[in-house]
Amino acid sequence: MPRLFIEQLTTPGQNIEGVFLVAEKDLRTTKKGAFFISAKLRDRTGELPAVMWDATQALFAAIPQGGYALVKGRLGEYGGGFQITIEAMRPAKENEVRLEDFLAVGPGDPQEQLARLKALLDTVQRPALRALMAAVWADEALMRDFTRAPAAEKLHHAYLGGLLEHTLGVVQNADAMLKRYPKLDRDLLLVGAFWHDLGKTRELAYAQSFGYTDAGKLVGHLVQGVIMLDEKIAAVRAAGTDFPEELACVLRHLVLAHHGTHEFGSPKLPMTAEAFTLNHIDNLDAKLHAFFRDVAADGDPVRRWTGFNKMFGGSLYKGLEEPAEEDEKDDDLKGGL
Amino acid sequence: MPRLFIEQLTTPGQNIEGVFLVAEKDLRTTKKGAFFISAKLRDRTGELPAVMWDATQALFAAIPQGGYALVKGRLGEYGGGFQITIEAMRPAKENEVRLEDFLAVGPGDPQEQLARLKALLDTVQRPALRALMAAVWADEALMRDFTRAPAAEKLHHAYLGGLLEHTLGVVQNADAMLKRYPKLDRDLLLVGAFWHDLGKTRELAYAQSFGYTDAGKLVGHLVQGVIMLDEKIAAVRAAGTDFPEELACVLRHLVLAHHGTHEFGSPKLPMTAEAFTLNHIDNLDAKLHAFFRDVAADGDPVRRWTGFNKMFGGSLYKGLEEPAEEDEKDDDLKGGL
Amino acid sequence: MPRLFIEQLTTPGQNIEGVFLVAEKDLRTTKKGAFFISAKLRDRTGELPAVMWDATQALFAAIPQGGYALVKGRLGEYGGGFQITIEAMRPAKENEVRLEDFLAVGPGDPQEQLARLKALLDTVQRPALRALMAAVWADEALMRDFTRAPAAEKLHHAYLGGLLEHTLGVVQNADAMLKRYPKLDRDLLLVGAFWHDLGKTRELAYAQSFGYTDAGKLVGHLVQGVIMLDEKIAAVRAAGTDFPEELACVLRHLVLAHHGTHEFGSPKLPMTAEAFTLNHIDNLDAKLHAFFRDVAADGDPVRRWTGFNKMFGGSLYKGLEEPAEEDEKDDDLKGGL
Amino acid sequence: MPRLFIEQLTTPGQNIEGVFLVAEKDLRTTKKGAFFISAKLRDRTGELPAVMWDATQALFAAIPQGGYALVKGRLGEYGGGFQITIEAMRPAKENEVRLEDFLAVGPGDPQEQLARLKALLDTVQRPALRALMAAVWADEALMRDFTRAPAAEKLHHAYLGGLLEHTLGVVQNADAMLKRYPKLDRDLLLVGAFWHDLGKTRELAYAQSFGYTDAGKLVGHLVQGVIMLDEKIAAVRAAGTDFPEELACVLRHLVLAHHGTHEFGSPKLPMTAEAFTLNHIDNLDAKLHAFFRDVAADGDPVRRWTGFNKMFGGSLYKGLEEPAEEDEKDDDLKGGL
Amino acid sequence: MPRLFIEQLTTPGQNIEGVFLVAEKDLRTTKKGAFFISAKLRDRTGELPAVMWDATQALFAAIPQGGYALVKGRLGEYGGGFQITIEAMRPAKENEVRLEDFLAVGPGDPQEQLARLKALLDTVQRPALRALMAAVWADEALMRDFTRAPAAEKLHHAYLGGLLEHTLGVVQNADAMLKRYPKLDRDLLLVGAFWHDLGKTRELAYAQSFGYTDAGKLVGHLVQGVIMLDEKIAAVRAAGTDFPEELACVLRHLVLAHHGTHEFGSPKLPMTAEAFTLNHIDNLDAKLHAFFRDVAADGDPVRRWTGFNKMFGGSLYKGLEEPAEEDEKDDDLKGGL
Amino acid sequence: MPRLFIEQLTTPGQNIEGVFLVAEKDLRTTKKGAFFISAKLRDRTGELPAVMWDATQALFAAIPQGGYALVKGRLGEYGGGFQITIEAMRPAKENEVRLEDFLAVGPGDPQEQLARLKALLDTVQRPALRALMAAVWADEALMRDFTRAPAAEKLHHAYLGGLLEHTLGVVQNADAMLKRYPKLDRDLLLVGAFWHDLGKTRELAYAQSFGYTDAGKLVGHLVQGVIMLDEKIAAVRAAGTDFPEELACVLRHLVLAHHGTHEFGSPKLPMTAEAFTLNHIDNLDAKLHAFFRDVAADGDPVRRWTGFNKMFGGSLYKGLEEPAEEDEKDDDLKGGL
């Protein structure tokens, strides 16, 4: 039986068997003192409340909150909506979970994006930086993370592959600005644009749902990126390539200063032309992505404005619409008043 | 006799005859009760103190502070430096003043820059906007101001022709970003980029030195730009071209929101994708100009950092220097210790 | 049959026929696949949910969200409250809608308030400003808007006629302060006080419910007020009256600076004594109105404080109550414990 | 010999004998090892450097810095300006010092201002408040301080009598606003306006020059005002008048909240209508006083703007000037170029 | 019958008789026009909705909102939960109310804490301060309040006895820092630490539930603490002990500046070493208390982080856990998938 | 000849031979076109202007600005003060420079302080952290830096040995607070306190004068400290000791969050109890050091307040002075007025 997604659960009585993410779970007691589990089950397409009667404390403890469970049950109704009645449930095994059933996936082709990214970075000239990038491309574990990670939990590019897509976007912006401002140091801006969010591979968890790792909360992706940079520089040096300390400092600065202000978590303000540029072209790529996403998400075809948007501090204007042929108004309405 | 500039006044006794900007003037009294004028005379190359003995109150009143005077005198010395002893002085006539002797002039060729700007704006499609731009190009007085005005009193592009140069820079940035983000509305972003600082033609005074006009201080270039936009839209409409009110509002918004935050004087936050983009690409062009200018202005060939820079909130890093051949150290120094 | 207002709908089964504002509308599908409309209907006295079975997509599309519909139906009950069952519905025609059935109306008499306002403005002396005000009073469309518009969507004087009432209040405050500080320029402060919120006639929509227009969101009432000022000045000049440009700038400044700080959306800080004064007397009139309204709205006769008030950042103190005769306490309560 | 003020010391050799404020003093050693005193002497009209040769450490210690000294000497010259050569000097006795020779004095008549203030406060109705004010007027020491103190060290009304003048101004503003907003509690607003800066009698030192007392720096005039209020309330209660505790709290609030925001040092935000009003009318009186003072202090008859003004954050606009007859330009200037 | 607490009300039909806090009350009308009271009853263990049919307006008025009522009734059910049906109700008499049934009580022994506090304060040396503290300890009403009051409504030590516990904590911190920094003035820091929150005895209401008094909202505990200090100093002086005014000012400063910044409500910034220290050690004690409380309150044994914590601006990290023996995982789950 | 320090140069004509720090240097041209060097020479005791006639461009280039030069010359006078006339000058060799002649040295004994620090850190329990600290103590180069570095360029402990002194102070504060709050994790707080400023060994330059290194300006001591931590953790792991990644993250957090807010450059806010505590006890040690230093530096024995202090935002109160015997006033002053 092919998996039914939550958006396909529309007929009370449907049989359900499949893996769901247990978004919430709660052990409760009936008035007669029996335990039951109240939960929320989620997949990529939505979320439904669920209830399992005759539960035990042991079962409850075994089900991982924020983790996956194999669920068998039936669709019921409660309180004016649907609810899954769970008949049996156990933690899912790793090979039973298909990540793409649960997490949003970006629109692009990661391998094609990676190839474009490499082509741009391949224009870097300094031997030390070429060695650094070669070490990056050769690190398979890092490449696997880099091509899968989202760029953010929610703010922008919040889907599998989002980090790669956003990084490519910023590197392309860098390339465009380098053509405009030839005094910018091409090597530094390109490598800085590549590295600016690399720490997110360790800041963000995306095995089950998008969230922050301990390292993300305690250290953050800026400093995490510097730590990864230092690891790779150490490897490059260990392999015999000279990597000047000043160059290392300037790269660290690019990563640390890319949020632009202390207020947004940068421990250093941009004090190189490339760091200043990186702050702007990163912000532009992230915010335009979010702008167009939020405008597209607003379903109302009549209103020219979205609702209040927290990131931008107001309603977003959806854009000028060209005058179209006026639809014929249908005056002949039911009810004939 | 060709004009001697202040930087050429190096030999006491030199005769001086020419137009100077009277940067300061002060009527004072000698111990014996006679009036004398103490002044500062300025041209493009510098400034010198000056004194005129046996002055009258009428002469003092006639000399325009912050204006031009024809001065005849001789170079003297006072208090360890040079000083001009004025023998005769009167207000300069308009045709005696060559503006380029007094104000910094930008490096570019205005006509060539204007041609490139027009070419980019010529890709605009909507008939209303084409008519608007045609009205702009046809307005000779505006074009004269637009090609002469500085972009700022001090912050960036602070020289004759600076507004045109900066505007072209922002429009070119817009063109580059339009290639990157095809969902942006090309018409709006290009016209908005053109218009964003147009109010500076009325905000800034640049007939004698750079400063703010009354309109600049009371109204500011954002609202001044909207006023100028409305004047041109009225003209376009009067000429029979339909100019939708919503389009006018969206353009006004681009001008008003281009400083990005209330704190920087925008009465509206950017709420269209084009306004958000304009804020970033304008800031990038202005700040990179200032960055490279301030780095270039720092004469010290040894230090890698400028002094404290108010605009960026710290010392600017001048950039990575490639390792060069070490100069032979000269140990054979005078004094032979 | 006289119109029944929503607050009069208290008996299930009541017949309903009248115009309502469609505050929300939603097209849904029954389990059997039939369309039905779920809506919220509103008039000045309240709002009720409504449902229309057997709806069509065409009917749904024809009903204007945020607009008026002529509704025929019956009062029913659902989920513990009342609900209107719509039997027939069509968009209302303009002449069927009585605005005062839907929008709050201020307590004052607009014509009387307008007369007092004119009397105060008539003390203005400069011919240019007298011509300006004459042009204002003569503009019937503007006067219609000015006497009907609210002063804000929610913050203060949020009812039909509120703009006029608030404007009169600020002009009266100006008059009081002019007596206190004779160095203030009477002409400027009075005209500035009159004009400070005039842009709200175009910023706020109040045909159906109070909200912001596109111009309101994109341009705002400060700059909108300047645009309207420039239109009128152009008319005055066209009619042959000299209107000095500096005077125009000073008036624009009064309008632009009246919010007092960048943070509150003024693109310019008050730099004239009149602009500084206007900022304070405007704020005083608006906030005291809101203070007394919110205190009056707090129904609890015992507590001396309202709940948390966002505008003032705390609970409002209702005022000192004079000691009154203590009510006899009734100890003889039901239940007789 | 009548006292010569510093502005009258214009001829080297003039004999000097009189009391001066010793603004600075420094004990130095000549190259030969003798002590000499370098000092700055000040009176109401200015300040001059002074030197006393052959000084002793004992004399130096005896002269009060920031205090008054009786000085005998002669006017000399040094470093391009005047300097007083002190021949003899000792601390001045209290009866030798005329305060008005050293401190700026306000323009008004204190007794007349006090009478107007009392007349306004006499409209207060509640017996407790009438008793409070009676206790104030009866406190001769307080009244002496209140009529002499400045309202600020520098910001506004910074002269003897300034506190009274400013207090009267705020009370008059209160009276004007009470006519405008009858819901305001007259008693509270008048007494609050009277009391708002009363703590400045203890915050500011004005025996010799204007400065802050220890209490001013450690406690501040807001809390000092509350302390004085509590002293007087205690006295009123001790005299048998009932003074409700809630009334006391509301008055304390008026004093504590009158700066309007935490940022400006108020420990409480205004949460009564009277406190909100008091904040605005106080600010208006103080700032308008400073505005007109700073505009008047700008001597340049040509410029329409003052220099940068820290309090207002920009240059102040001096006001619109009516077109006047153009002065005949004198072209016949000396020098005859 | 021993009192049943709300957490013990679990069986519909249970008889209820006891004192409850009336958290909310509302007089409503049935469809037939009869009055009924809808209320929320609360004790230390929780809150339940309640309804009383056949109520009268007089009864409703007599029941104190936020006060205590003696209630007789029965446990019923409504809307999926429990509800108390009130059969009879009257205001409780003071001797019927046991405060500890309604308010949280701190973990410590007040008398033991007070003894430790006195021992530390007894090391103070200056006679004036010893007299001040003696007057404090001798004030029985103050001691009763001081040992019962909470330290805050919600933020930290929000239980009966919390003020004493927190004060002792800050005084102990002071003692520890005095050992570290011998230049600190022991007398001042200890007395300042004792007095810093003393005003909370009048700021906070804790007779029924924790909240702010009128004095708390209008004046605040900083200024209230100064008022109490001045009362006691007056008493000390009246008793013949010399209390220098400068010492009084320095103590007032300690109380007023202990919040550290204007933003947090201090009218003065700390300008003595002791005031600066007090700000830090107070903050440390309050925040660490809140940190450990909030970590302890997070029931989830798996997550290492609490939810978002407003006081700290993020999730709190619960601390490093030492590696423990892994629990045996129970794979034998119900449902046997 | 023993070295003459600048404070010993008091007699024109004194011969000078010794090493000086060249604080500034400038190559200038006499009116006749000859080069001369204008410089400022500095040692620990002060700074004097210097001039060297007949200089060459080669010599000028060879002299290191901000570096040391061996100078031979004579004390002269110029413009009312002393000036060194340089007869010969060359860069100093490393073994000719005694650092303590040029830089302020802290009051403590580094070895004794280090021993106390080690003793406190030796109470750490977790094996991983004991191994980490052992690696620190064994790193001779690091220990040399750590015991010599200042704690800041100017703000506090700005002398050789200052970093060690401040670190010991913070660790002692940690020890004191651990006794007060046993729920704090002793291991984490002690190691965090030790490590919090360790990055300053690389952030600050102190070979010649105190300043920031490139790494200091580009990366900062917070992230530099994390980099050093990661280096040492890598070494510990390489040596076979297990070092859990979560422990590493928590330590990194302690270092990164110790400035407490984004505003002060922390990329992460404190989210562990130890990080929150560290922020406060670090701030306390640094600011109290600065407070007592600045109070001690104020020479005026009369005033109770220092001048405006930027760090604290006001004048500092020097502390309460006990009443002393009044000095006999000497009325018998010179001049006998």
Instruction: Give the DSSP per-residue string, E151-184.
Output: S-SSSSS-SBTHHHHHHHHHHHHHHHHHHH-TTS
- E267 to D218: CB separation less than 8 angstroms, yes or no: no
- Do the beta carbons of residue F43 and residue F21 sit within 8 Å? yes
Q: Where are the alpha helices (DSSP H) in F264-315?
A: 273-297
Q: Which amino acid is at D268?
A: K
Q: Where are the alpha helices (DSSP H) in B122-182?
A: 127-138, 140-148, 162-180
What predicted TM-score, i.e. pTM, was given to this entire model? 0.86
E244: pLDDT strictly greater than 80: yes
User: What is the average pLDDT across E243-271?
Assistant: 96
Nearest alpha-carbon partner for A57 in E334, E304, E10: E334
d(CA E206, CA E144): 13
d(CA B327, CA B329): 6
Nearest alpha-carbon partner for C158 in C216, C212, C118: C212
Residue found by looking up tokens 């007095």 in the block: E195
d(CA E115, CA C221): 65
- Point out the residue among F244, F277, F313 whose CB comes nearest to the CB of E284: F277
Q: What are the angstrom distances between the C-alpha of F34 and each of B77, B78, B81, F24?
A: 20, 22, 18, 20
- pLDDT band for position B131 (cuts 50, 70, 90): very high
- C288 to D276: CB separation less than 8 angstroms, yes or no: yes
- F302 to D55: CB separation less than 8 angstroms, yes or no: no
In terms of CA atoms, which chain A residue is nearest residue C93? Answer: A331
What confidence score (pLDDT) does residue E299 get? 67
Among chain A, residues having any CB pair with chain B shorter than 8 Å are 169, 172-173, 176-177, 179-181, 183-185, 188, 244, 246-247, 250, 253, 269-273, 276-277, 280-281, 283-284, 287-288, 291-292, 295, 312-317, 319-320, 323
Q: Please state the separation of Cα B205 from the chain's center in Å.
A: 9
* Mean per-residue pLDDT over chain E, rounded: 89
Range of weakest confidence among C277-281, D330-334, E85-89, F138-142? D330-334
* Mean per-residue pLDDT over chain B, rounded: 89
> Quick one: three-class SS letters along chain C?
CCCCCHHHCCCCCCEEEEEEEEEEEEEEECCCCCEEEEEEEEECCEEEEEEEECCCHHHHHHCCCCCEEEEEEEEEEECCEEEEEEEEEEECCHHHCCHHHCCCECCCCHHHHHHHHHHHHCCCCCHHHHHHHHHHHHCHHHHHHHHHCCCCCCCCCCCECHHHHHHHHHHHHHHHHHHHCCCCCHHHHHHHHHHCCCCHHHHEECCCCCEECHHHHHCHHHHHHHHHHHHHHHHHHHCCCCCCHHHHHHHHHHHHCCCCCHHHCCCCCCCCHHHHHHHHHHHHHHHHHHHHHHHHHCCCCCCCEEEEECCCCEEEECCCCCCCCCCCCCCCCCCCC
List CB contacts (< 8 A) between F170 and chain E.
none
What confidence score (pLDDT) does residue F288 get? 96
What confidence score (pLDDT) does residue F45 get? 83
Residue B53 burial (CB count, 10 A): 12
Nearest alpha-carbon partner for E243 in E133, E93, E87: E133
Residue F23 burial (CB count, 10 A): 16
Q: Where are the alpha helices (DSSP H) in chain D?
A: 57-62, 110-121, 127-138, 140-148, 162-180, 186-195, 200-203, 214-218, 220-238, 245-256, 273-297
Most confident of A96-100, B77-81, E119-123: E119-123
Per residue in F222-256, pLDDT tens? 999 999 999 999 999 999 999 999 999 999 999 99
Structure tokens at D80: 């391009």
Q: Please state the separation of Cα F238 from the chain's center in Å.
A: 34
What confidence score (pLDDT) does residue C208 get? 65
Q: Is E250 helix (H, G, I), strand (E, B) or coil?
A: helix
Structure tokens at A53: 């009667």
* Mean per-residue pLDDT over chain F, rounded: 89
Nearest alpha-carbon partner for C203 in C226, C174, C230: C226
Nearest alpha-carbon partner for D145 in D97, D194, D202: D202
Range of weakest confidence among B129-133, E9-13, E15-19? E9-13
- Point out the residue among E219, E246, E253 whose CB comes nearest to the CB of D252: E219
Among chain D, residues having any CB pair with chain C shorter than 8 Å are 169, 172-173, 176-177, 179-181, 183-185, 188, 244, 246-247, 250, 253, 269-273, 276-277, 280-281, 283-284, 287-288, 291-292, 295, 312-317, 319-320, 323
Nearest alpha-carbon partner for A191 in A229, A165, A141: A229
Q: Environment class of residue E91 by beta-carbon count within 10 Å: exposed (0-12), middle (13-18) or buried (19+)?
A: middle
Vertex E279 angle, CA E277 and E284, to 5°:
95
d(CA A143, CA A148): 9
Range of weakest confidence among B63-77, D303-317, E156-170, F289-303? F289-303
User: What is the average pLDDT across A279-304?
Assistant: 89
What residues does A25 pair with on adjacent strands? Answer: A39
d(CA C64, CA C199): 27
φ/ψ region of B116 (left if φ > 0, alpha if ψ in -120 to 50, else beta) reads alpha
How is chain F split among helix, strand and coil, in percent rounded to 5?
45, 20, 35
Residue C109 burial (CB count, 10 A): 10
d(CA D143, CA B114): 72
d(CA A246, CA F218): 10
- pLDDT band for position A328 (cuts 50, 70, 90): very low
User: What is the average pLDDT across A47-71?
Assistant: 88
List CB contacts (< 8 A) between E72 and chain C.
335, 337
Q: What element of type H or E holds F119?
A: helix F110-121
What confidence score (pLDDT) does residue B330 get? 43
- The larger pLDDT score, comparing residue A161 to residue E329, is at A161
Range of weakest confidence among A170-179, A304-313, B160-169, B262-271? A304-313
B327: pLDDT strictly greater than 50: no
Do chain F and C touch: 3 or more Cβ pairs under 8 angstroms? no
- Do the beta carbons of residue D45 and residue D92 sit within 8 Å? no
What confidence score (pLDDT) does residue B325 get? 44
Percent of chain B with pLDDT over 90: 60
- Point out the residue among B65, B87, B90 whose CB comes nearest to the CB of D333: B90
A335: pLDDT strictly greater than 70: no
Q: Please state the separation of Cα D6 from the chain's center in Å.
A: 21
Per residue in B174-227, pLDDT tens? 999 999 999 999 999 999 999 999 999 988 877 666 778 888 999 999 999 999
d(CA A302, CA A288): 22
* Mean per-residue pLDDT over chain D, rounded: 89
Per residue in D25-75, pLDDT tens? 888 877 777 889 999 998 888 889 999 998 888 888 888 877 889 999 999
What confidence score (pLDDT) does residue B65 get? 78
What residues contact residue B120 under an 8 Å CB cut-off, 6+ apart? B171, B172, B175, B190
What confidence score (pLDDT) does residue B83 get? 92
Strands D81-91 and D46-53 turn out to be parallel
- Point out the residue among E62, E214, E218 whose CB comes nearest to the CB of C333: E62
Percent of chain B with pLDDT over 70: 92
- Do the beta carbons of residue D202 and residue D228 sit within 8 Å? yes
In terms of CA atoms, which chain C residue is nearest residue E56? Answer: C334
Backbone dihedral angles phi then psi of residue A83, each to the nearest 5 degrees: -150, 140
Nearest alpha-carbon partner for C82 in C54, C40, C53, C43: C40
Q: What are the angstrom distances between the C-alpha of E298 and each of A35, C313, F174, F249?
A: 22, 30, 27, 22
Residue D127 burial (CB count, 10 A): 12
List CB contacts (< 8 A) between C199 and chain B.
none
Q: Where are the alpha helices (DSSP H) in chain B?
A: 57-62, 110-121, 127-138, 140-148, 162-180, 186-195, 200-203, 214-218, 220-238, 245-256, 273-297
**Residue stretches of chain C with pLDDT short of 50:** 324-336
List CB contacts (< 8 A) between F218 and chain A.
249-250, 252-253, 268, 271-272
- B312 to A270: CB separation less than 8 angstroms, yes or no: yes
D330: pLDDT strictly greater than 50: no
